[in-house]
Amino acid sequence: DTEVTQTPKHLVMGMTNKKSLKCEQHMGHRAMYWYKQKAKKPPELMFVYSYEKLSINESVPSRFSPECPNSSLLNLHLHALQPEDSALYLCASSQVRGSVNEKLFFGSGTQLSVL
């Protein structure tokens, strides 16, 4: 199984809603990532988990709350988002091998619209 599965594929939410994005992989990868991508722009790193511990938070607003409950699952909890947070949210995973960058495996993303 070489897939990263993201749900839901599409999400529309109001600014007062609370929602969660989910990501799952069964490749035994111990690093998992959240990226945000606006239209016609490159993906921008938000968070990195390594061995289920938050290793990188790229100064992301607290209305985005990541969670890694186990080595296969990654969640992104959303609360009080703004319309400018509308974007494609991509989850990825990779091996962790010392200081060598490994390739990332991406899910197909969640297209989020905040009204």
If one asks whether residue 54 binds another protein (CB under 8 A), the answer comes out as: no
CA dist 54 and 43 (Å) reads: 19
If one asks whether residue 21 binds another protein (CB under 8 A), the answer comes out as: no
CA dist 88 and 44 (Å) reads: 10
For the chain, give the number of residues: 115
Q: Which stretch binds another protein (CB under 8 A): 12-20, 33-41, 61-69, 76-84?
A: 33-41
If one asks whether residue 2 binds another protein (CB under 8 A), the answer comes out as: no
If one asks whether residue 12 binds another protein (CB under 8 A), the answer comes out as: no
Q: Tell me the sheet residues that pair with 6.
A: 23
Residue 6: burial class (beta carbons within 10 Å; 0-12, 13-18, 19+) = buried
If one asks whether residue 78 binds another protein (CB under 8 A), the answer comes out as: no
If one asks whether residue 81 binds another protein (CB under 8 A), the answer comes out as: no
The correct pick among 23, 31, 46, 114 for binding another protein (CB under 8 A) is: 31
If one asks whether residue 94 binds another protein (CB under 8 A), the answer comes out as: yes
Tokens representing residue 33 in the block: 């990532």
